[in-house]
Amino acid sequence: MLDSQIVAPSAKPSTLAELLEQTPLHSNILLCVSGSIAAYKALELASMLKKLGAQVAVVMSQSAQKFITPLSFEAITHNKVLCEQSEEWSTMDTSVQKLDSSSSKADRPHSCNHIAYAKWADLCILAPATASSIAKLAHGIADNLLTQTLLATSAPILCAPAMNTAMLESKQTQANLTTLAAMGVQIIEPKSALLACNTQGIGALADVEELVFALLKASKVDRFWLDREVYITGGGASAMLDPVRAITNHSSGLQASALAIALYTLGARVRLISSSFPTPLPRAIEVEQVRSNDDYKQALLRLNKQRKKHSKQRAILLMAAALADFAPKYRATSKIKKSKTTQLHLALEPTQDILASLDSSDFVKVGFKAEDSLEVGLSNARAMLLPRENGGKDCEIVCLNTLDSSPFGASHNAFTLLNRQSLQDSSARTLPHSTKLALSYEIASFIKASLEHLESNA
């Protein structure tokens, strides 16, 4: 096989929208914009949400209009911005209407008033959220259209604060944020940056990607995955030849990152152990960068030891990393000099099979297998489902892909999924070529169904 067939030309999507391609956010999202200099970032958020397939409507406070005009949002969302100047009650119809009777797209509010917009929303996000808007929402003060709309909605509300550090850390603001969190409002923590007041500190609006991840999680969270411990390995391991050279492989880490995003948005507590992180990730995902096979193993054992202190439930391990099957028998202690070596002969020895070595009483093991052909791959994948005493790896599930259809580093992939049932009837589920994130949600669904079946028969 040619190298160009094995390795894709690029391993990194240029935008989050490309990463989320074919993973549509089919929700009515109400974007509430209050008067902060960060209001301009709400335009980027609206644009990204539209690209993901969401229907977006905007409510603006009077102060927000000092920073940006309603026309800018209307050009992006194709919906009328609700503000003091646009609210109308000429019709009392507060239902919603279809954009197109033949379309599956989301609806738009029928009337431009706060009751219609409140009823229309599936999700509401207050971004940016000023200290004033946070205080009013926390205490039910409905003296403007923005807070009136938020008080009238039954949709989940997300709040993304943006303000000066001292204002954010004041006892009043912290108490108000605590009150909102107790009401079920999700607070998207601000980040530390150079603020508009020319000071460095906490209070900047979270990155737009972080806001999108939060909205995805609010729309996709699944009770099965909620707070489950999930460990994911990704990237390619390296085996050192000398202090500057190593034997490694072409694994990009894209599939592992996509799995981490999918399982995070489904509600899991995700730890990603990888040699590379090629995509934007939610801040809540704990990451650890590793290099060698032993690095991966020690990270997993350490996480498992921590988990056992507070939980008896097994962690779900998705072993998507391409670990080294062979390593140099001898490692040079100093750089091997080309000028002093006419030929270099490497003695390689097999490495420990880390997945097989892990105790299945601690981990629900989901193995990943890359093979040259499907026929050989299916046989080897089924072998991974066998108990260790029978030469297997004690995997509950195996995800098989072939290199001819899915080169390393490509943004798309295809899988054949097998579980323990496959050992009895040779069944398998085929996931056709799609984006790695879309496939990650399918893999998560397969894991859920397989484990629920096992638990019901236990």
Closest to 57 measured CA to CA, from 185, 145, 188: 145
CA distance 174 to 131: 10
Closest to 346 measured CA to CA, from 326, 329, 334, 323: 329
Is 368 annotated as a binding-site member? yes
Is 171 annotated as a binding-site member? no
Is 335 annotated as a binding-site member? yes
Phi, psi of 204 (to 5 degrees): -75, 145
CA angle 185, 191, 194 (to 5 degrees): 140
Closest to 413 measured CA to CA, from 393, 425, 430, 392: 430
Q: What is the largest CA-CA distance in the chain?
A: 88
CA distance 284 to 399: 26
Active site residue 197: yes
Is 325 annotated as a binding-site member? yes
Asked if 224 contacts 277 with a C-beta cutoff of 8 angstroms, the reply is no
Query: What amino acid occupies position 419?
Result: N
Angle between helices 171-182 and 131-138 (to 10 degrees): 50
- 262, burial (CB in 10 Å: exposed 0-12, middle 13-18, buried 19+): buried
Instruction: List the structure tokens of 83.
Output: 């503000």
Q: Which one from 32, 112, 197, 399 is the annotated catalytic residue? A: 197
What is the gyration radius of the CA atoms in the chain, in angstroms?
Answer: 26
| Binding-site entries | 325, 335, 368, 393
Q: Summarize the annotated binding site for CTP as residue ranges.
A: 325, 335, 368, 393
Residues serving a catalytic function are 197
